[in-house]
Amino acid sequence: TRDMKVDVLVIGAGPSGCVASAYLHQQGLNVKVVEKTTFPRFVIGESLLPRCMDHFEEVGLLDALKAANFEIKRGARFMKDDVVCNFDFSDKHSEGWDWTWQVPRADFDTILANEVEKMGVDISFEHEVVAVEIADNGTSTTTIHDADGNPYKVEAQFIVDSSGYGRVLPRLLNLDKPSSIPEHSSIFGHVKDVNRPKGEEGTLITFDVLDKDTWFWVIPFSNGNTSLGFVGKNEFIDSFEGDTSTRLQTMFKQSDYYYERFKDAPLLFEPKSIRNYSKAVTKFYGNGFVLTGNSAEFLDPVFSSGVTFATESALRSAKLISKQLQGETVNWEEDYSNYIKSGVDVFATYVKEWYTGNLQTLFFHRPENLEVKRQICAVLAGYVWDETNPFVTKHNRIVKSLAHLINMENEKSASV
């Protein structure tokens, strides 16, 4: 592969890299995407949020996704013991999409990458970024190994790092910092859903809560397979012995609701595990580069915010890059970092309050407060920038204070 010069180099062809490169290409910029693997490839992150539909639509990727007939996700079900909390995206505080999909990412990401290539973007698969040098004026020289392991260099005016778990620039530029989210790990896999019940029950995405720190997901796909995953503290995950198949199957015995359905379901591959998955960085952008998606920050899977942040940050940064390369001045701190952080902060509160138990108190308290539920539902749909929603603007206090009120009420009724 020969050395080359482009306007923008995008690292990674996941949802973040695809949305960024589609937008930049449509603005007439010369974009190159490098992707370490060949597609289809497995990646976790299968439950989407309505908000990401806005992003796919804006860059012209929605129709191809619609044609794939993925399982439609209209809400989310949370269960604890006998109490069920059902969120319905059509009954939420904010305007916006009231449905999205639950998707096997290998297929989903392949469709995105194919579409982006069809638009005319150059994607090199099995090309891996191994080194980056950035000059004072922001121009970078990136060393890439092609499929045969031969190095070549790409000079770019701007780099979008959408490398997800690869965390290319955080590693190479030393930008990692510890996450403020309590440490958890996960084991997950796909099964052939041989006992899937007919009708809605068989297709519902569900979060089954075992205790404050431990829960698992059930994400049925339209291809007849279902994703199953456990999340818990490291001690919990480590307390199970054997290979990941045995561990996942043993964990599943803890689910009264789902055990029968999945006990004979064949695993489609050896389940995977990720330890301490939460990630954070010291900065989201720098001279000549920006971090998007998981390469920037990852909180927790409990509210399925990963892909939506990946596409939100991709589109936002692509717009700013395009302005900057046309000679306009861009305020990256305000218009990228602060904007993205304000959304991340809302979700971070919900994740933290999930594991303190406060949010679980709100979800499973009966009778439900329907207004509160509509406002929380808008957050869970990914509309975390809507300042008319008190569950966005007062996220720091509101979950905690409502949970406190409920706890006091419960104590009062227990003592009568």
Q: Which residues bind ligand FAD (CB under 6 A)?
A: 11-17, 34-37, 43-48, 128-129, 162-166, 168, 186, 188, 229, 274, 277, 293-295, 298, 301, 304, 306-308, 310
Q: Which is nearer to ligand FAD, 46 or 71 (CB)?
A: 46
State in angstroms the smallest separation of the CB of 160 from ligand FAD.
11
Checking 334-340 for CB contacts under 8 A at 24+ apart, the result is 336/284, 336/285, 336/290, 337/283, 337/284, 337/285, 339/385, 340/284, 340/296, 340/309, 340/312, 340/313, 340/316
CB of 355 to ligand FAD, least distance (A): 15
Shortest Å distance, C-beta 142 to ligand FAD: 9
Work out how close the CB of 62 gets to ligand FAD at its nearest, in angstroms, rounded to a whole number: 17
Shortest reach from residue 205's CB to ligand FAD, in Å: 9
Indicate the residue among 106 and 408 with the shorter CB distance to ligand FAD.
106
CA distance 403 to 195: 38
Nearer to ligand FAD, 260 or 270 (CB): 270
Report CA 32 to chain centroid distance, whole Å.
24
CB of 73 to ligand FAD, least distance (A): 10
Identity of the residue numbered 235: E
Least distance from ligand FAD to the Cβ atom of residue 236, Å = 14
Residues paired with 6 in a beta bridge:
156
**CB-CB contact of 315 with 55 (8 Å):** yes
> What is the C-alpha separation between 398 and 392, in angstroms, rounded?
9
Q: Which residues of 241-274 are buried (b: 16+ CB within 10 A; e: fewer)?
A: eeebeebbbebbeebeebeebbeebebeeebbbb
Nearer residue to ligand FAD within complex by CB, 272 or 400? 272
In 3-state terms, what secondary structure has residue 23?
A: helix
Question: Judged by CB, which is closer to ligand FAD: 3, or 81?
Answer: 3
Nearer of residues 344 and 398 to ligand FAD, judged by Cβ: 344
Identify which of 173, 35, 170, 28 has the alpha carbon closest to the alpha carbon of residue 110. Answer: 35
Question: Min. distance of Cβ 231 from ligand FAD in angstroms?
Answer: 6
First to last CA, the chain: 78
Name every residue whose Cβ is closer than 8 Å to that of residue 226 and which is 6 or more positions away in sequence: 190, 191, 193, 196, 218, 219, 220, 262, 265
For residue 10, give the amino acid letter: V
Q: Which is nearer to ligand FAD, 350 or 402 (CB)?
A: 350
Give the shortest CB-413-to-ligand FAD separation in angstroms.
36
**C-beta closer to ligand FAD: residue 13 or 61:** 13
Of the pair 308, 317, the CB lying nearest ligand FAD is at 308
Name beta bridge partners: 35: 125
